[in-house]
Structure 1
Amino acid sequence: MQLSIVIPLLNEEESLKELYGWIAEVMQSNHFLFEVIFIDDGSSDHSWNVIQELSTQNKNVKGIRFHRNFGKSQALHAGFKEATGEVVITMDADLQDNPEEIPELYELVSKNDFDIVSGWKKKRYDSFLSKNLPSKLFNWAARRTSGVQLHDFNCGLKAFKNEVIKTIEVSGEMHRYIPVLAKNAGYQKIGEKVVRHQARKYGSTKFGIERFINGFLDLVTIWFVTKFGKRPMHLFGALGVLMFFIGFSFSIYLGIDKLFLNPTGRLITDRPQFYIALASMIIGTQLFLAGFLGEIMIRFKKATENYKISETLNT
């Protein structure tokens, strides 16, 4: 199998047949062996009925249906597990990603030996204030924090070597940062291709401004995981030792002052330095224990799937 096309979706019944027909036309004109994996992320419309119909008519269509809405990252995780193609393409189901970009993405991965090629929607058909401007700010912050020099982390159209998507673990809301996760796993050849973006034809976007807020929070998470995910003691332990040292220094100062310099002065417990010392040592101990527990949890961590599949088709 040359290509697996993984498409997560939520309430996109109107676009699915047109999207599959467009993909099939492009694949057949380029003589590709391909499969299309639709992941229905808890749609409340008739999306699953359309996928059932497509899978009955075309054996290269696979369907995965979640019990409820679990999120795009979990949908991609399930699709990646099922993908068998040597190159895996991800794209959105709303017809804003152009399937005619797929052959060139495939060539860049299979012939140019890129691990990942990410799409860049250089010209967008979205509202400037609600989507374009926040997206530019988000991408700038992501580049500075992660070190991965992509212009468009949010673009759903990406191409991967199969071994990349089988190696990385996409969870939470980390679908935006798959290239960063891949880089952290040792895949350094990450490219970018300008792709055509199209105005939404049916329905309305499922994402609001909150996705950028969540994106920045996830960015902080992935920064932490990148730097300290495998060695939490290096952060929490260092901070804990620093705080404990500050508290202990205040304690030594108060002891020396009371015993030798000012024995008839105020009680130690009446001085603000006493509470600074006490709080610092308590916080330092807690931070050190947090790092210690983090190290233990990493060593006993087991991969878990935080979604539930209710139905599959042709899998």
Structure 2
Amino acid sequence: MNISVVIPLLNEKESLPELYDWIAKVMRSNHFSYEIIFIDDGSTDDSWNVIEQLSQKDSNVKGIRFFRNFGKSQALHAGFEKSQGDVVITMDADLQDNPEEIPELYNMIVKDHYDLVSGWKKKRYDSVISKNLPSKLFNWAARKTSGVTLNDFNCGLKAYNRNVVKNIDVHGEMHRYIPVLAKNAGFSNIGEKIVLHQARKYGSTKFGMDRFVHGFLDLLTIWFISRFGRRPMHLFGALGVIMFMIGFGFTLYLGLDKLFFNTSGRLITERPQFYMALSTMIIGTQFFIAGFLGEIILRTKDDKKRYLINEELNF
């Protein structure tokens, strides 16, 4: 199969028939073998009924339905697991992504041998205050922190080599950082393509300003994981040893001063250095134990699914 189109969605019943017709037209005109995987992330409208009707009409349409809303990352992960195409295209269900971009994205993966190609919505039809400016700040911070030089990390329109989606774990809110996850997994040939952005035709956005707060917190998480995720003892152990040695130095100083000089004439417990020594040695020990436990957890973690599928179609 040439292409798998993975589309996570939440309450997008109005746009689904039009989106399907548009994608199918592009696929047929370019003679691609394809599948369209809709992932219903706990919709409360008739989105699943629309997906069922489309799957009965066309066997290329497949559907996954979650028991409840688990989030876009979990929806993408489920779609990646089920995808069979050599190239996987992700896009949003709100008709703001243009399916006409698919052939060129496909060629960039197959002919130009990119591992991942991310769309760049250079001209956006969103609110300047609530979306555009926060998005620019967010993308700047992501570039500086991750080392991946993309202009638009959060664009839903992306193309992947099959090997990428089968070897990364997208969870939590990490869908914004899939290029970073791919880079950390060893897929370094990451490209970017300017894509058309269209105004939302139906409904309203499912994301508010809080997504940028969560995004920055996730950015810190992925920075830490990329640096120390496989070696937590290198951070916590080093901090623990440094703190412990500082405390031990204060203790040695207090002991020698008491035994040989006793200049102050005070008890050791009356001197501030005693509490500094005690605090730093305790904190250092805790840091060291945290690193040790992190190493144990890393070696024994059980990778469980983070979503529950209610129904599937055509798999």
TM range (shorter): over 0.9
Q: Secondary structure in 2 aligned to 1:88? A: strand
CA deviations on 1:106-152 (whole Å, 9 max, x unpaired) are: 00001110000000000000001100000000000000000000000
Correspondence for 1:15: 15
Distance 2:171 2:224 in 1: 15
Taking a change above 3 Å as real, the CA distance of residues 264 and 32 of structure 1, as seen in their structure-2 partners, is closer
Paired position in structure 1 for 2:212: 212
Whether 1:131 and 2:138 are equivalent positions in the alignment is no
Deviation at 1:174, TM superposition (A): 0.5
1:116 and 1:236 mapped to 2: Cα distance? 33
TM-score (norm 2): 0.99
Do the aligned partners of residues 259 and 311 (structure 1) sit closer, same or farther apart at CA in structure 2, a change above 3 Å counting? same
The corresponding residue for 1:229 is 229
Report matched runs for 1:73-152 at 5 Å.
Answer: 73-152=73-152
The SS at the match of 2:150 is coil
CA–CA separation in structure 1 for the residues paired with 2:178 and 2:3: 19
- 1:269 aligned counterpart, secondary structure: helix
Runs of 4+ aligned structure 1 residues displaced above 6 Å come to: none
Structure 1, unmatched stretches of 5+, are none
Instruction: Say yes or no: does 1:159 pair with 2:162.
Output: no
Counterparts of 1:53 and 1:71, CA distance in 2 = 24
Shift of 1:264: 6.2
C-alpha separation in 1, matches of 2:40 and 2:268: 65
Partners of 1:265 and 1:103 in 2: CA distance = 83
State the alpha-carbon separation in 2 of the partners of residues 247 and 300 from structure 1: 33
- How far residue 302 of structure 1 moved from its aligned partner, in angstroms, is 2.3
**How far 1:263 sits from its partner (Å)?**
6.0
Q: In the alignment, which residue of structure 2 is the partner of 1:176?
A: 176
Instruction: Provide, for residues 245-277 of structure 1, a one-character-per-residue CA deviation record: whole Å limited to 9, x for no partner.
Output: 111111111111211121661111111111111
2:303 equivalent to 1:297? no
User: Aligned residue for 2:248?
Assistant: 248
Q: CA RMSD in A?
A: 0.8
Provide the residue aligned with 1:273 in structure 2.
Answer: 273
Q: Report what 2:285 is aligned to.
A: 285
Measured in 1, the distance between the counterparts of 2:153 and 2:183 equals 14
Distance 1:52 1:228 in 2: 44
**d(CA) in 2 for partners of 1:140 and 1:263?**
56
Output the TM-score relative to the length of structure 1: 0.99
Q: Distance in 2 between matches of 1:267 and 1:69?
A: 62
* CA offsets 1:18-73 (integer angstroms, 9 cap, x no match): 00000001111111111000000001111111111111111011100001000000
Query: Take 1:247 and 1:36, find their aligned partners in 2: how far apart are those partners?
Result: 61
The residue that corresponds to 2:61 in the other structure is 61
Counterpart Cα distance in 2 of 1:68 and 1:253: 61
Q: How many angstroms apart in 2 are the aligned matches of 1:147 and 1:263?
A: 55
Question: Structure 1 CA distance, aligned partners of 2:139 and 2:40?
Answer: 27
Shift of 1:304: 1.2
Deviation of 1:171 (Å): 1.0
3-state SS, counterpart of residue 167 of structure 1? coil
SS of residue matched to 1:243: helix
What CA distance in whole angstroms lies between the structure 1 residues aligned with 2:271 and 2:10? 61
Q: In the aligned structure 2, how far is the partner of 1:122 from the partner of 1:23?
A: 22
* Residue type at the aligned position of 1:164: V
Partner in structure 2 of residue 45 of structure 1 = 45
One-letter identity of the residue aligned with 1:134:
P
Identity %: 72
| Whole-angstrom CA distance in 2 between matches of 1:17 and 1:271 | 76
Secondary structure of 2:89's counterpart equals strand
Q: Hey, what's the Cα distance between the residues in 1 that align with 2:188 and 2:277?
A: 47
Q: Which residue of 2 aligns with 1:4?
A: 4
Q: 1:203 to 1:264 in 2, by over 3 A?
A: closer
- The 1-side partners of 2:89 and 2:223 are apart by 26
Q: CA deviation at 1:195?
A: 0.1
Q: In the alignment, which residue of structure 2 is the partner of 1:26?
A: 26
Tell me the equivalent position of 1:36.
36
